Amino acid sequence: MKFQVQRYLGSLVFVFLLFFSVALGATAGVLFVYNSDLPQVNSLENYRPSVVTEVYADDGQVIGSFALERRIVVTYEQLPQALKDAVISVEDQNFYEHWGIDFYGIARAGLKNLMAGRVVEGGSTLTQQLSKNLFLTPERSFRRKIQEAMLSIQIERNYTKPQILTMYCNLGFLGHGQYGFAAAAEYYFNKNVKDLTIEEAALLAALPRSPNNYSPITYPERALMRRNYAIDRMVAERKVTAVEGEAAKKRPVVLAPKNRPDELAPYFVEELRRYLENKYGTSAVHEGGLKVYSTLNVEMQRAANAALVQGLRAFDKRQGWRGAERNLLAQRVVDLNTIELDDWKLPIRTNDVVPGIVLDVNARNATIRIGEYKAQLAVQDIGWTRARTPAEILRRGDVALFMVRSMNSADRKVEVTLEQRPKVQGALVAIDPLNGEVKAMVGGYDFDDSKFNRATQALRQTGSAFKPFIYAAAVDKGLRPDDTVLDAPVNFGSYSPGNYDGRFEGTITIRRAIAQSRNIPAVKTLASIGIPAAIPYIKRFGITSKIEPYLPIALGATDVTLIEMTSAYSVFPNDGVRVVPRLIRRVANYDDDILEEELPELRDAIPAATARIMVDLLQEPVRSGTATAARQLMRPVAGKTGTTNDFTDAWFMGFTASLTAGVWVGFDEKVPLGDGETGGVAALPIWLDFIREVYKDKPAEPFPFLKPGSPALTTAAPRLSIEVETEIVSTTRQSQ
């Protein structure tokens, strides 16, 4: 009997060992198969997550960024203790004890889930979550869980706990395009991660479980409950005291206000993006964390933005009222007091232009609703429409645009003026003539509506703004400012130029011809120097657009970009030297290694003596010509207006001793702006507003070579006669 029992037990042991060996071998085989295609975790030392590329202004301010994943990488030391405690308390209480897998945590989570009848707690460690984020897909399968566990063990063997926690805090998705806790702290609270409070750290630590479901922006009540749960976990883990925890839970969730889109220089930044992607590739720009140090000046750009927007609005108002955008009653909206417009979701500030709803209108005024605010629109607030009463132009239920002049938050009242969205477009470019740096660039009225950059991409005829290049060529050949020319009818075969006003002034000086922008003297000047000689000369100013060989080019019958024109005009105040325009000072990689550094690229364009004479001549339009409005600046400025046939394009190109700026106004479709909308009327006011703001606190800056004691404005070239010879006329006929 005893022998039979021993044989039976021996058989059981044999069977057990057999099954154990098979199971062990199978497990080893499975682990070998699953481990064979796992990545090597020791490569994490050189791992770099996708990082934001940032663009800096000339003073170091961030003005733009490019990223597929908005992430700010921080070190372990930069993470506040409150955030470390919150993350560990919520996600992995045994983080510092386990070796990648927390069997106790798995058992505890399983028991809680069983008791709750649903998944209320996960058993994955921070290391497992990190391995999934780094190497694996979100797929839910037995194979993936095994790989996740094996990777976690490898990570724990190769890296310290602080290194693992830091990687976790830099990688995770936290909603609304934010990756990592530093980016999330900036986005949700407008704070540096090191400045987070207990309740803020708890809210962020609660997000990784389900960023979309616990978003404090989309679901504030869920976020509050999840935050308080995180605080309770911190108390339970003795990371904060019960008193501190209760105080933190009583504080409301306070998020940084999401202001209206107010990008400083979207056209400028977009121009940089195209250049960078072409040179370094899309991946480097959107994931590599480049540091782009640009030439843009923040204050000048703000001045340019304000000047162009105001100028285009002023132009549009001169064309009259076009009517309300839509009528809600016609769209069958019943209650005008409860409907919410999309634009009202963002804070409303003074000087914002926002849509409002007309609640009531009569002969004296109209009641306007803008979000929670009410306004009374009086006759003086619609004066530009030429309407005698609001009832003439507005109806109950109309949705129109209004500028908020002032606000009274206590009474929920605002003062407004009627606005409308301009259909006209414009552009402004400002360049430092000494080094070619583009200090400001605006490529249109609204970047969100149109990404087309009219400063760099639009080819438009320049009108009389092109004349200075012709006169410069003539000065180089001996023309003097006080030489005379006959402003009288002239015929060049089939071409008979005329003046803007239809009159002829007879014999006048070159100074007056430029000041009054007389067309016939300009055409005669081009004919006297010859088209074959003039075109190469003009190219020296940096005009790269095609110039057709015919006489009307003297009047700007050539398509040129605004940035070309602005750069070309910078030759005059820079003593004849052209500096190639540039938007970048240098580009560095993530490790601060310099990838490129752009230094000023100088080109000799025209003699210094010629440039100085042209600066003198280009002050004539300001002194007594088409740009006399610029005298209100009370400082030395020079420039030239430009207006094309049928008023399709309006220009003003002008400069001080240290800044050259150009303005263009027109419709994209090349249709007339309207009678009388010349460069002096449509473009010059924008230029004036810009220059006035830029120099508002600065002393007058004379042109250096016009100071007392400077060399006389003379040229060594022999005098040039502007008498039109038959041979030149014949050549002109052939070129036409």
CA dihedral 216→222→223→224, nearest 10 degrees, is: 120
In the chain, the amino acid numbered 181 is F
148 is catalytic: no
Beta strands in 231-327 (DSSP E): 291-294, 326-327
As separate numbers, helices (DSSP H) first and strands (DSSP E) second, the chain gives 22, 24
Residue 733 confidence (pLDDT):
30
Kindly state the tokens that stand for 699. Answer: 């002393």
CA dihedral 32→35→40→41, nearest 10 degrees, is: -120
Q: How many residues does the chain have?
A: 736
CA dihedral over 184, 186, 189, 191, signed as positive or negative: positive
Distance CA 631, CA 635 (A): 7
Residues 6+ apart with CB under 8 A from 240: 85, 198, 231, 234, 248
Residue 246 confidence (pLDDT):
95
* Residue in 529, 518, 463 with CA at minimum distance from that of residue 487: 518
Rg over alpha carbons for the chain, rounded to the nearest Å, is 36
Q: Would you say the pTM of this structure is higher than 0.75? A: yes
In the chain, the amino acid numbered 439 is K
In the chain, the amino acid numbered 16 is F
* Residue in 637, 638, 625, 635 with CA at minimum distance from that of residue 680: 625
464 is catalytic: yes
Q: What are the residue ranges in the chain where pLDDT is below 50?
A: 14-15, 17-18, 20-38, 119-120, 136, 141, 708-709, 724-736
Distance CA 540, CA 538 (A): 5
Q: How many other CB atoms are there within 10 angstroms of residue 21's CB atom?
A: 10
φ/ψ (deg, to 5) at 35: -80, -20
Q: Which listed residue (152, 464, 528, 567) is catalytic?
A: 464
Q: How many other CB atoms are there within 10 angstroms of residue 192's CB atom?
A: 14
Q: Tokens 């002829």, residue?
A: 504
Angle between helix 126-135 and 81-91 (nearest 10):
90
* Residue in 33, 109, 402, 447 with CA at minimum distance from that of residue 267: 447
Distance CA 327, CA 238 (A): 60
φ/ψ (deg, to 5) at 675: -55, 135
User: 291-294 and 53-56 as β-strands: parallel, antiparallel, unpaired?
Assistant: parallel
SS3 state of residue 292:
strand
Residue 69 confidence (pLDDT):
86
How many whole angstroms from its chain centre is CA 21? Answer: 66
Question: Are 644 and 552 in contact, with CB atoms under 8 Å apart?
Answer: no
In the chain, the amino acid numbered 705 is F
Element (H, E) at 358: strand 353-361
Distance CA 142, CA 147 (A): 9
Kindly state the tokens that stand for 57. Answer: 């202004």
Kindly state the tokens that stand for 467. Answer: 């004349």
Q: Which listed residue (89, 91, 148, 271) is catalytic?
A: 91
SS3 state of residue 43:
helix
Kindly state the tokens that stand for 91. Answer: 């996600």
